[in-house]
Structure 1
Amino acid sequence: MHVTVIGAGLAGSECAWQLAERGVDVTLCEMKPEKKTPAHETAYFAELCCSNSLRSDQLENAVGLLKEELRRLGSLILQCADATRVEAGGALAVDRHGFARMVTEKVRSHPRITVVEKEVTELPDGEVVVASGPLTSDALAERLLQLLGADSGLHFYDAAAPLVSAESVDMNYAWMGSRYDKGTADYVNCPMNQEEYDAFWQALTTAEEAPVHGFEDGKVFEGCMPVEVMARRGHDTLLYGPLKARGLDDPRTGRWPYAVVQLRRDNADGTVYNLVGFQTHLRFPEQRRVFSMIPALHDAEFLRYGVMHRNTFLNSPRLLDRYYRLKSEPRISFAGQMTGVEGYVESAASGFLVGVETARRLLGRAPVDFPQETAIGALGLYVSNQSITVFQPMNINFGIIPPLAHRVKGKRNKNAELSARSLAVIETLKEEVLP
């Protein structure tokens, strides 16, 4: 039994691991370090490009549920994330390089996984999992278009936030804290009064953007929108988004400021911070000019500027089944963001499911069929739902999980019960799923 996995991102690494743990030999093809995309910095597998945050770790949040399902079922990505986490309040954030290094070391050392460092331009014979990600190389993307047809895929653009050194943040204009004092005080909060915000907003909306061929505001995926695009939608839009001040009491005034920019740790040492929600494709000099208008960042040292890059995803409801297999050629499966699951954890979950189900099929076993009541199952059923007329990438959310049969007062209480129901189902599947 042998499977070729193309791409060693979160989905490909998870998929390869699950296959190998079940006795399947894997050839894992990764084009780094021979060739990198504009968003990649290292030669490690499972590199986090946009943020070091895997988002909420609370069971009242759907992504928190998805992480807990993966933990209980032996996910490599969650094992490494938990081992390299950094403090981030109620979120799971990791030391980016430590996390990627651990995933790389574990995958490379598995006796059933053979890593081949090369760019794949043709799909090999036999069982194949394409997990080449939203930054699939032009040659492979062209080959996939030939295989799947002209209407098989869509393109959108994704943006990464800038990084600043912690020591360059002027704490005379900032304070450490979390929203509503929830969890530990892990965020650097950089306030602005109305006059400062007005000047910042005006500069942001008129700043010069880097040229991105084919970019239009209407094509930007809502979950990772460049901050300047968001600002152009209205003066107050940022105040209800990444600059929301609600729940952040300035210790100097005891009140919520007019606007707050939050910085989150990007490494375990706390020496690097990213600007939360500040994905951007402004020119680098413009990023320095505009973002330095934030009082606490007036002398900020930018360790990495924000970048814009192309993302590609498939018209999955037409092409894929609930196991992420190509309906027209089931020996080929897809995993990761190119399937239309949006987010790091969601990508890992798709790779997990593909690895588990492909191994079971090769071993002559029946599929597990994760039900829609589970977050893992709900994602697979969403991307294969042929009733969706306009398919867009989707983060995991409780809206794609069936509602409870009874009424529960309060959103948090309802979500907690949905999670409890899902995890009860997972417990019944563990013996069947675990290798």
Structure 2
Amino acid sequence: MSIPEAAITVIGAGLAGSEAALAAARAGVRVRLHEMRPHKMTPAHRTGNFAELVCSTSLGGEGEMQAKGLLQAELRSVGSAVVGAADQSRVPAGNALAVDRDEFSARVTRAVREHPRIEVIEGEVEAVPDGITVIATGPLTADALAADLARLTGSERLSFYDAAAPVIAFESINLDVAWRAGRYDQSADYINCPFTKQEYERFFEALEQARSHTPHDWEKLEFFEGCMPIEELARRGVDTPRFGPMSPKGLDDPRTGRWPYAVAQLRQEDKEGRMWSLVGFQTGLKWGDQKAVVQRIPGLENAEIVRYGVMHRNTYLNAPEVLDATLQLRADRTRFVAGVLAGTEGYLESAATGWLAGTNAARLALGRSPLVPPAESMLGGLVRYLASANPKGFQPMNVNWALVPDLPVPEGRRKLGKREKRPLLFRRGLAAFLAWAGEEAGLNVTPPAVLEAQAAAVATD
């Protein structure tokens, strides 16, 4: 009697689901891929094609200076379908990987539909099926499936509205101005940025003049008192922020021994303390204006924002409470989650977690243990963050250099500058990923020199 071929299910054919299905199929398992479009459309999509880009045509900056550049290189090395399609359909965009939207989606759709191990099943899935499953239904997950996910994970761990504050790299915070303390000396869990009256007035003026993103019609944003954007608070009056999230009560400035006029607080976002988020600063400001406002805060004059604040409709899990770094649900190890639903932000991040979830789901189906990329790699840093971030007020994250361990400072030298450090982080991360993928994961890996030659050939065509 023959042994049945291993099989998994993937729900959703966006970037994460398409990448998951193709990664699992290449690993040697059969895939049932469910996609509800075109039978049931979302308000954001316009076609039934897979991996349709709806908000942008860019998969992020390229090169050794860019965190997304490292993630692109990692995915290229293991034959990512999404990055491969992007390379084949790219359009000029300076130092960014931008694509022809329709050509890109058509290439991914064709790769999925023509793969002999993938069966595409059209129609809505209303409950998570039995067996090994990758759930990659994105920010507009249909109501019935979202309800079943809430049942699996706990309804309080599933969010439908992304109200995020800016996240700052710790190394860019000026601790000669800011200081660590909790209110009334209860703890030292916060970093506090103090304002004089004049500094607060300059900050407020910048906040008043800043421009907000215009939401899509289908998002129907409704603000709640518990997550009111800082710019909305400012519209209620000049003193509203400083009697709300910027209250100085119980915070003695060590330089004066008194409460400042106002305070902006930062809360640790990751276990290692490399990222800190501004407390109560949910915002929908345009990113350029957002940066200008943040850098008006004393102690953050040179702030490096590793994740900008956003306000939009978004279905996602509180990843640190429910997911392991393998992208398995802790409550049921046969279920994997990828993409925006897993707590990522960005097209490239969705594809990357789709690749890992599909690869790990295939490994589980074949009787092998799921794996986690090394911490030095960008994908390894991202999934470790998802599994271990501060669950209080968790918000989706995009890749950035603060996700990976810092480099040691050479003896007798000051810390390295960005232009010196980031290429070193890039090379260290890619080397670690290549070694892991080839040796531990047992994958066919394409060396960087070959990848560069392939990229040059694509650019010449």
TM-score, structure 1 length as denominator? 0.68
Aligned to 2:375: 372
Which stretch of structure 1 is more off in the superposition, 44-53 or 400-409?
400-409
1:203 to 1:420, Cα distance in 2 relative to 1, 3 A: closer
In the other structure, the counterpart of 2:143 is 138
Structure 1 residue 62 corresponds to structure 2 residue 67: yes
Deviation of 1:138 after TM superposition, in Å, equals 1.1
Change (3 A) 1:61 1:216: farther
CA contact (8 A) 2:152 2:331 kept: no
- Partner SS for 1:422: helix
Q: How does 1:34-49 map to 2 (within 5 A)?
A: 34-49=39-54
| Distance in 1 (alpha carbons) for counterparts of 2:118 and 2:145 | 22
Q: Per-residue deviation at 1:229? A: 4.3
Label 1:203 to 1:106 Cα distance change in 2 as closer, same or farther (>3 A): same
Secondary structure, aligned partner of 2:435: helix
1:187-230 CA-to-partner distances (Å, cap 9, x unmatched) read: xxxxxxxxxxxxxx9897799995815345946799xxxxx942
1:214 to 204, 213, 222: 222
* Stretch deviating more after TM superposition (202-211 or 95-104): 202-211
* Larger CA deviation: 91-100 vs 368-377: 368-377
Structure 1 position 72 matched with structure 2 position 77: yes
Establish whether residue 230 from structure 1 lines up as the match of residue 285 from structure 2.
yes
Amino acid at match of 2:416: K
- 1:100-120 per-residue CA deviation (whole Å, 9 max, x = no partner) reads 000000000000000001000
Gaps of 5+ in 1: 159-200, 223-227, 242-278, 281-307
Q: How does 1:26-425 map to 2 (within 5 A)?
A: 26-157=31-162, 212=220, 214-215=222-223, 218=227, 229-230=284-285, 237=289, 240=292, 310-385=313-388, 387-407=390-410, 409-425=416-432
Write the distance in 2 (CA, Å) between the matches of 1:206 and 1:420: 36
Larger CA Rg, structure 1 vs 2: 2
**Distance in 1, Cα, partners of 2:315 & 2:229:** 12
Q: Separation in 1 of the partners of 2:339 and 2:216?
A: 29
**1:426–1:237: structure 2 CA closer, same or farther, 3 Å change rule?**
closer
**1:166-196: per-residue Cα shift (whole Å, max 9, x none)?**
xxxxxxxxxxxxxxxxxxxxxxxxxxxxxxx
Q: 1:326 to 1:147 in 2, by over 3 A?
A: same
CA RMSD of aligned residues (A): 3.1
Contact 2:90–2:100 (8 Å) recurs in 1: yes
8 A Cα contact 2:135 2:336, kept in partner: yes
Q: How many residues align?
A: 322
Secondary structure in structure 2 of the residue aligned to 1:356: helix
Q: Kindly provide the CA deviation profile for residues 298-337 of structure 1, in whole angstroms up to 9, marking residues without a partner as x.
A: xxxxxxxxxx962111011110111111111111110101
**2:32 counterpart SS class:** strand
Name the residue aligned to 2:433.
Answer: 426
Q: Give the Cα–Cα distance (whole angstroms) in 1 for the partners of residues 66 and 102 of structure 2.
A: 26
Letter in 2 for 1:154: S
- In 2, Cα distance between equivalents of 1:204 and 1:406: 39
State the SS of the aligned residue for 2:315. Answer: strand
Partner of 2:328, secondary structure, is coil
- What letter is aligned with 1:212? K
Change in Cα spacing, 1:113 to 1:84, as seen in structure 2 (3 Å) is same
Deviation at 1:351, TM superposition (A): 0.6
Q: What SS does the corresponding residue of 1:151 show, helix, strand or coil? A: helix
d(CA) in 2 for partners of 1:94, 1:208: 23
1:208 and 1:39 map into 2 onto residues whose CA distance is 12
| Amino acid corresponding to residue 230 of structure 1 in structure 2 | L
SS of structure 2 residue aligned to 1:331: strand
Question: Contact between 1:156 and 1:220, CA under 8 Å: does it hold in 2?
Answer: no
